[in-house]
Amino acid sequence: MQNIIETKKLCKTFSNGGVQQHVLKNIDLEIYEGDFTIIMGASGAGKSTLLYSLSGMDKPTLGSITFAGTEITKKNTDELALFRRDHCGFVFQQVYLVDSMSVLDNLMAAGLLVNKDKKAVAQKAGELLKAVNIDEPLWNKFPTQISGGEAQRVGIARALINNPKMVFADEPTGALNSQTGKAVLDTLTGFNEKGQSIVMVTHDITSARRGNRILYVKDGEIAGECLLGKYVTGDKERHQKLNDFLTTMGW
Amino acid sequence: MSKTLLLTKSNLKKNRGTSAGLFLLMTIAACLIGISLLVFFDAYPVAEREAARLNAGDGYLSVTGNVDGITDEKIEEIIEEDTESYYIYRNLAYSNNPIPFGNGEVVITSQFSDSSAFEMPMNTCEVVKEDSSVTEDYIYLPYQFNTAGGFETGDTFEVDLGGTKHSYTVKGFLNVAYGGCNNNALYSFVLDDDSYDELAEEGADENIMIIFDLKDDVTVGAFLISTSTEILTLNPMAVVSGYDLPQVLGSRTFMALIIAVSFLVLTFLIVAAVAMMLANCISNYIKENMKTLGALKAIGYTGGDIKGSLVVWFLIIAAVASAVGIVLAYLLMPVFAGIIVGQMGIPYAVSFNMLATVIPAGFVLIFTLLVTLIASAKVTKILPIVALREGIESHNFRKNHAALSSTPLSLNMGLAVKTFFGNIKQNVITFFVIGLMVFSCVVSLLMYENFSRHPKLELLATEICAGVVTSDVDSKEEIRSYLEDRSDIKNVREIISMNFYYNEEAILYTYVVEDPAKMDNQNVCYKGRLPQYDNEIAISGAFARDYGFEIGDEIEMDYGDNSYTYLVTGYIQTLNNAGREALVTYDGANHIVETEMIPGWFWFDLTDESDDNKVNEEEVERIIDECKDKYDGHILSTMNFFEIMNGSMTTFQSISTMMLVIMCTVSVVVIGLILYLLIKSLIYHKRKDYGIYKALGYTSGSLMLQTALSFMPSVIASVSIFSVVWYYLANPYMSTFMGMFGLVKCTFDIPISGVVMIAIGFAVISFLLALVQTRRIKKIEAYNMLVAE
């Protein structure tokens, strides 16, 4: 399988008042195309820092990250922004839709960065919104006027508008109830089944079960890895395997 | 109280940028108020103090022309009864003589004395500056020649007196109460004794100077009229002019007062901007700190405590800003004083003035207190639980402006429009602040254009022309015919001026005009019409107001023993002679004066006037020279108005240029500060959105551009609307403003190109300033913005 992201000796250190905290320590990692990669770990283990470093949202302190054949650690913030718009999609726990824009405009604002053809972007946005079960009457509503689950699905549609090589999802169901969370996971799983590569941070086993590869981060290092294979609904053996892995990791 | 101070300390620490921005705006306001009041309270008192020090008495009577039979003894008999003290001094005078000044010359009555002038017990001539190495053929000039006229000691002063050219070396400069300033229509010079004798031998008119200090129950106006009348009975051919000290001081200081009032107007514009910003800052503070306010209320802080902390916070800023602003006003005052001294011609040193110190501080503090109390009123109404839930909605957008799927705008422009509608309040503030600043710059441009770039002499003179030739009585008709036959000049008209008296109370400087319809300055009459018949008169608006005359009333005017009752046909406007002027026809004047016995004053225009005043000046010079060559000995005096224009406007030029520079600079600084405060708050409110945009792949540059562009609709609307509005309202405003000084109907030129430049300049500068202010977006990374939420 071809890798999309490769890190070498990736380190991230935060300094606060002269006190240094090493959040990521010499991580060597490969993320593969088509995978639904899950990053798990305890709070403060460094999983979100790893996610944002991999996506070029945050800059590592040391080491290198090669994304789709491009070394991104040497890029400045504007170069990283240009890189992200072409290669990355993001789904956040807090959704982070722009409140002053309609649902459709949230997608358009991302899509028009890459494709200047308004008609084509609007058509693609419509298709994605339909694909995440956001009906047309909601398209002109504002984020504050729709439910949390709907907003998160709009967030997923926005993440996909530019056909990114990778979607990065940070606890996408963290702020949702189980029913709406399931709908969001179904959406992500559906896109992954169609070939979309996803890296998702979660501390929820139900969410983690959707991935085919689980990485466990502990004290800033990849402590273990578990391969689950493609997600199948009601696969109890898969569930057990994940539980055993997490138990081994001290979850 | 300790709770309030605790909150205040926290607010000051947390909102350093906002505090600094407001501090600078308040400092500018306090400084400008301070300067305005220092000028306002100091200019006249300084002139008054100097006059008292020089023992100027209550006024001065000048008797010149033919003074035969007017002896000191006879004068004493006339004035003794009404005066506490007086001093009679004889020197030489030239009426309406061109004197080099600044970039040209002024036509003015000049009096020349010898060294005995330094011994005068009244109206003392004091040397301000002197070069003792100059020992012969020297002259002392009024101090204004040094401060505004471009002369230094040792310079050569060349002047044409009675047709003879004289050259003197400038030995020094004089501080003199009467004859120290061109606005008084009189200059006093002191020559070395030999030069003085030479001038006397050449036949200069003798002048009798009568300085008087009146008894308490005698008014200056009545004294001047009765004394003039009695002196004219001694010799009807004498020319008597009266100078009332308050009137002289008023003329010397009116430009300083115009500056003071102009600055006060500008200050109020800035104060209005500060009020809007202060209210906006408080509103932002409430929005940004809603949770904190809720928590504070939950633990027992009252609305009053929180409001108190806001009041103390802004009062601390206002107090420090007032103190710094006043200190700055005193530090900058010498610069302003230098220019004002140029106009006043009086030695001036900045001194402490209690009122000018206390009023700006008091005003800034009270104004801050009021705005803060009003803007923070809603704090008391917020319920803790609502505040904890951030009850006040920060985003309440009901309309999706510039939908990206359908707008024809580019992505950046579309997002800028969305930001614009999302920050409509900030844009309204920008709209009005820039509008106010456009106003101050358009008015400054108007003053620069009309006082400096293309001086409008009709502001200072009742009638304008290209040149004037004065002939003796015998050659009057011949010279008139000669002038009328010339093809290079047109509109030859006869205008003279003399003092008429009203009811032994007031002197009216009266223009006697052969045919008022031929006057170039038809704007001189701003209400009613100019006189057409011999029983009509137009009087100045200020005089009409003071003495209760209306159009259609009758007024009895005196000259010597003669009097006649005229019908008031209209009001004329003037900045001169303390607003006491009148205008009658020759036929009208003949009722009380024999105009035929007066030399002929022929005013004329150029047939082909050039846009270049230098060319016009040379053309008039050529015509005057040809006239002199032809009628040598019959030409009493000449005036080249294009040359006078430069000289007379010299003092106004520097002031109006200074005003333009200051107004434009202050405007740009104010716009910069307002944009700083607005954009700082906007970025703070939208920090989450910027994080999202950056995460999606927007670059800092595009976000900065969008943010800066979002202010452009209000900036462009403001400069477009207000430049047109002020273009049309500037003259009505100036009429109201200058009306206080006697100029009631202003028709100043406002160059459209200048207004367009101001509009474009403000739009470009605002955009660039906004772009600079948005640079803080650059420093924040997407990840930090998202985790900051």
Number of A/B CB contacts below 8 angstroms equals 99
Strands B138-142 and B164-175: parallel
Last residue of a domain, one of B615, B648, B681: B648
Q: Are residues B573 and B674 in the same domain?
A: no
B82 is a domain residue: no
Q: Which of A57, A98, A112 has the CB atom closest to B782's CB atom?
A: A57
Q: Are residues B581 and B671 in the same domain?
A: no
B390 interface with A at CB cutoff 8 Å: no
B607 is a domain residue: yes
More confident: A36 or B387: A36
B584 is a domain residue: yes
Q: What residues of B are in contact with residue A167 (Cβ under 8 Å)?
A: none
B3 is a domain residue: no
Of A161, A4, A3, nearest to A85 (Cα)?
A161
Q: Residue A85's closest chain B neighbor by CA?
A: B697
Q: Are residues B431 and B561 in the same domain?
A: no
Q: Are residues B579 and B622 in the same domain?
A: yes
Q: Residue A104's closest chain B neighbor by CA?
A: B405
- Give the pLDDT confidence score for residue B633 in this predicted structure: 79
What whole-number distance in Å separates Cα of residue B623 and Cα of residue B625? 5
More confident: B739 or A80: A80
* Helix or strand run (H / E) with residue B188: strand B186-191
> Please, are residues B789 and A67 in contact by the beta-carbon 8 Å criterion?
no
Q: Say which range, A28-37, B416-425, B750-759, has the weakest mean pLDDT.
A: B416-425
Q: CA B147, B149, B153 angle in degrees (round to 5)? A: 75
At residue B378 the predicted structure's pLDDT band, cuts being 50, 70 and 90, is confident
Q: Are residues B591 and B637 in the same domain?
A: yes
Last residue of a domain, one of B593, B619, B648: B648
B495 is a domain residue: yes
B397 interface with A at CB cutoff 8 Å: yes
Q: What residues of A are in contact with residue B701 (Cβ under 8 Å)?
A: 78
A200: tokens are 């998702």
Burial B557-581 (b: 16+ CB within 10 A, else e): bbbeeeebebebbbbbbbbbbbbbb
Q: Do A118 and B405 touch (CB under 8 A)?
A: yes
Give the predicted TM-score (pTM) of the model: 0.75
Q: Say which range, B132-146, B314-328, B370-384, has the weakest mean pLDDT.
A: B370-384
- Give the pLDDT confidence score for residue A31 in this predicted structure: 94
Q: Which of A86, A100, A104 has the CB atom closest to B422's CB atom?
A: A100
Model pLDDT for residues B426-479, shown as the tens digit of each residue: 889 889 989 989 998 998 899 888 887 877 766 667 788 899 998 888 888 999
Is the pLDDT assigned to residue B109 strictly greater than 80? yes
Q: Give the Å distances, CA to CA, from A52 to A49, A57, B423.
A: 5, 5, 31
Q: What residues of B are in contact with residue A92 (Cβ under 8 Å)?
A: 695, 786
Mean pLDDT computed over every residue of chain B:
86
Q: Which of A59, A78, A96 has the CB atom closest to B701's CB atom?
A: A78
Q: Are residues B622 and B740 in the same domain?
A: no
B590 is a domain residue: yes
Give which of A61, A75, A105, A146 to mutate to test B binding, by max B Cβ within 10 Å: A105
* Enclosing domain of residue A128: 3-249
Chain B closest CA to A40's CA: distance in Å? Answer: 19
Q: Where are the beta strands (DSSP E) in B357-488?
A: 467-471
State the DSSP string of B291-350: HHHHHHHHTT--HHHHHHHHHHHHHHHHHHHHHHHHHHHHHHHHHHHHHHHHHH-S----
B682 interface with A at CB cutoff 8 Å: no
Ranges in chain A, pLDDT < 70: none
Is the pLDDT assigned to residue B396 strictly greater than 60? no
Model pLDDT for residues B140-192, shown as the tens digit of each residue: 999 999 988 889 999 999 998 877 889 999 999 999 998 888 777 789 999 99
* Enclosing domain of residue B587: 458-648
Domain count, chain A: 1
Q: Are residues B756 and B639 in the same domain?
A: no
More confident: B776 or B714: B714
B563 is a domain residue: yes
Q: What residues of A are in contact with residue B395 (Cβ under 8 Å)?
A: 99-100, 144
Q: Do B692 and A98 touch (CB under 8 A)?
A: yes
What is the ipTM score, two decimals?
0.84
More confident: B596 or B364: B364
Is the pLDDT assigned to residue B392 strictly greater than 80? no
Q: Do B403 and A52 touch (CB under 8 A)?
A: no
The dihedral sign for the CA sequence B559, B213, B41, B355: negative
Domain count, chain B: 2
Q: Are residues B416 and B564 in the same domain?
A: no
B418 is a domain residue: yes
CATH of the domain at A36: 3.40.50.300
